[in-house]
Amino acid sequence: MEPSLAGMVACLDKSIQGGSMASLGLLGKVDMTKNELTRGQMAQILYAVEKRFQPDRMTFDELRRLLGNLEETKGALDAEKAFSDVGYRNPNSNAICHAVAWGLICPRESGVFGVDDKVSQQELEQVLRRFSGDSSLVVDRVSDAVAYWCGAGDLGLAGMVGLNVYKQAREALAAKDMPKELGDALRKILDDARRAGRPQGQRTDVVGTKDDMKTWISRWDEGPFLREVNIKGLKPNTEPVEIVQVTDTHYNLVNKDDEIENNPSVMSTRQYRRWLRNGTSVPTIRNVLKFARHSDQTVVTGDILDYLSWGCLQLTVEEFFWTDINVLACLGGHDVTRVMQGKVKDPTSRESRLDILATDWPHDIFYVSKVVKDKVLLVAMFNDLGRYSQGQADALKADLERARRDNLAILIFQHEPICTRNPAEKSVMPIRRNDTEAWNFCDNGAGKPNSAPTTLQVYELIVKNADVVKGVFCGHMHSDYYTEIIASYQKPNGETVQTTIPQIVSTGSVYDRVGHAVRIVVE
């Protein structure tokens, strides 16, 4: 008898510490009555278990096991952009990319995953051994293996796997079990890969100079326009963390699936929405992502899609989620609407549109957090229309407690800026303009005085915990601004300290042919 879904669930249930498969909410999404397990279903179950129960830290020993699991994958990858049998609308696509990038499931052959192939007992046992860390394949020559994958290229399946190895090796540099001599060797390999992958040549100032980082914008030849932000973390003399923010990519495409569905609002939007139509923003965003890929973490702060169509979603999945499986991606207002200068009202509900996005998104669409190098806790939230939910308030409260307990600096990423309540910011001019001009950040934005109670709750959690919340990063405005949020925190003795939190508002990454990005370094 072939392995069943129920059988795999039972095997994994025994290995989960501190939880059970029932808590995943996955069992209602797969057909437990079938007696056969497909490779796509197997990938989805592993993905759900790991996201729910695995810690977000990489140790040296785990890096060795990752490299060992990937030994059998080397020969099955080539320059294919994606698996020919896994489309962007396949609900298991993110799970499949994750399983391949972590060496848990090998492709059937070059460019083919075998998504609907039935899983044999032998393959199931092999996958479970890899997943549990019991695989006998453990790489000893770690530096050679990391160097191999760092040279795998920028695109295609091998590039996806190589980028995951790069980022996990970066993460492992902060691990307590990393031998110092090997760590030094790995750092050199990773730094060389970063230099090779980033723009070369002359760097020029576009606005200001590096003497005033708040207003400095620069660029290299053919590289993106770049803002730089340096933040003092809470763990001195530890590995620095580099995050690259990308925002407002505005993918605009209507594809064959849209034409078949023939949603009247999408068809009307195609007729009237001419900006960046037919996917013309792709080369610009690829230029930005080429810079971002060698950071410790890439975060995209909304309006990734110009409007919700199958074509825009296809570009998002293929350009972001199938290239960097570790990306964090906020939603913005454009992502959840089908009417963008169109003349026909969308006949579907907002909830149905969010369900479509949730199916293809690599993490929760409303709130996700992640610790990087045991130093920074990144929070990515959905706040279109300047609103937050009770679920986001509860999650942020828990993360604030975690950050204070573990001495982590928190960075907030979202699409729309929050109200600064700073009297000096009633008319802030952009550092560099692409769209909006002077803006009143003092009285406008998420958390303004007349906001809903749950929105104000999240706002106050941010601004009253400035001892751990070290920055807010957003887009939406399509021009570059620097603002300071009036904030405070309480000392252990009860004394309240008044301070500010920097808020970096970035222009759209899609502008000016070569694009825009923000490089954030937490020291």
* Weakest-pLDDT range from 124-138, 201-215, 254-268, 424-438: 124-138
Say whether pLDDT at 24 is over 80: no
Q: What ranges in 31-141 are assigned the alpha helix state H?
A: 39-53, 60-69, 93-101, 121-132
Residue 221 has what pLDDT? 87
Structure tokens at 407: 């001495």
> Using CA atoms, how far apart are residues 313 and 160, in angstroms rounded to an integer?
19
22 pLDDT band, cuts 50/70/90, is: very low
Reference 484, options 427, 421, 413; nearest CA is 421
pLDDT by residue (tens digit) across 335-354? Answer: 999 999 999 999 999 999 99
Say whether pLDDT at 126 is over 90: no
pLDDT by residue (tens digit) across 109-124? Answer: 778 899 999 998 888 8
- Of 404 and 72, which is predicted with more confidence? 404
Say whether pLDDT at 13 is over 60: no
Say whether pLDDT at 383 is over 60: yes
Structure tokens at 34: 């079938």
> Using CA atoms, how far apart are residues 160 and 153, in angstroms rounded to an integer?
9
> Using CA atoms, how far apart are residues 131 and 365, in angstroms rounded to an integer?
26
> Using CA atoms, how far apart are residues 386 and 458, in angstroms rounded to an integer?
11
25 pLDDT band, cuts 50/70/90, is: very low
Q: What is the mean pLDDT of the chain?
A: 91
Say whether pLDDT at 15 is over 70: no
> Using CA atoms, how far apart are residues 216 and 200, in angstroms rounded to an integer?
19
* Segment 37-56 mean pLDDT: 82
* Weakest-pLDDT range from 67-76, 220-229, 257-266, 314-323: 67-76
**259-296: burial string, b at 16+ Cβ within 10 Å, e else:** eeeebebbbbbbeebeebeebebbebbebbbbbbbbbb
78 pLDDT band, cuts 50/70/90, is: low
Residues 6 or more apart whose CB falls under 8 angstroms from that of 169 comprise: 63, 146, 186, 189, 190
Q: With contact defined as beta carbons under 8 Å apart, do 505 and 234 qualify?
A: no
Say whether pLDDT at 274 is over 90: yes
Residue 55 has what pLDDT? 61
Say whether pLDDT at 36 is over 90: no
Residues in the chain, overall count: 523
Largest CA distance in the chain: 72
Instruction: Please state, as a whole number, how many other Cβ atoms lie within 10 Å of the Cβ of residue 521.
Output: 15
Residue 314 has what pLDDT? 98
**H or E stretch including 489?**
strand 479-490
81 pLDDT band, cuts 50/70/90, is: low
Residue 122 has what pLDDT? 87
Residue 125 has what pLDDT? 85
Percent of the chain with pLDDT over 90: 77
Residue 129 has what pLDDT? 83
Structure tokens at 478: 């399509």
Structure tokens at 125: 């046992």
> Using CA atoms, how far apart are residues 273 and 306, in angstroms rounded to an integer?
9
Residue 369 has what pLDDT? 97
pLDDT by residue (tens digit) across 407-456? Answer: 999 999 999 999 999 999 999 999 999 999 999 999 999 999 999 999 99
Query: Exposure of 137 by Cβ count < 10 A (0-12 exposed, 13-18 middle, 19+ buried)?
Result: middle
pLDDT by residue (tens digit) across 305-331? Answer: 999 999 999 999 999 999 999 999 999
Give DSSP secondary structure letters for 362-425: SS-SSEEEEEETTTEEEEEE--GGG---HHHHHHHHHHHHHHHHHT-EEEEE-SSPBP---GGG
Q: With contact defined as beta carbons under 8 Å apart, do 501 and 462 qualify?
A: yes
Say whether pLDDT at 212 is over 80: yes
Structural domains in the chain?
5-189 (no CATH), 241-522 (3.30.750.180)
The DSSP call for residue 279 is G
Helix axis angle, 156-172 to 93-101, nearest 10° = 60
Residue 10 has what pLDDT? 59
Say whether pLDDT at 20 is over 70: no
Q: With contact defined as beta carbons under 8 Å apart, do 355 and 366 qualify?
A: no
29 pLDDT band, cuts 50/70/90, is: very low
Question: Which strand ranges, in their side-by-side order, compose the sheet holding 241-246?
Answer: 203-207, 217-220, 225-231, 516-522, 241-246, 297-301, 328-330
pLDDT by residue (tens digit) across 151-205? Answer: 988 878 889 999 999 999 999 999 999 999 999 999 999 999 999 999 988 899 9
Residue 16 has what pLDDT? 47
Percent of the chain with pLDDT over 70: 90
* Weakest-pLDDT range from 6-10, 95-99, 370-374, 392-396: 6-10
